[in-house]
Amino acid sequence: MTTTARTVTEMQLRGYRLTTAEILYHMPDHPHLLQTFVWQDYDLAPRFPVLKKFLDFWAHSLDGPLHSVQVANIPIIKPAETRFADICLTLH
């Protein structure tokens, strides 16, 4: 990633999430074997335009045909979690 910390924060505030994709593809010389490639970048869920652009590039420019893609993402900036106490004890 070539983005600066300020740009990353701005992207997160606009809804981008850190997205990781595990890409399985057939090796060009041995099509019966699968190889794994891990891709990670900031992207917008649920449409994932950045990942789709990368996968389009892969399909049109690289020799190893895609087998499958698993995607995981999490919002980095999210509302704070609040938990309420069931009991309050005071000790003297």
Which tokens is 56 given? 């389009």
Cα distance between residue 1 and residue 10, in whole Å? 15
- At residue 74, φ and ψ (nearest 5 deg) are -145, 140
- For residues 21-39, give the mean pLDDT: 95
- For residues 3-16, give the mean pLDDT: 79
Cα distance between residue 43 and residue 55, in whole Å? 13
Cα distance between residue 20 and residue 43, in whole Å? 9
> What's the pLDDT at 13?
84
pTM given for the model: 0.74
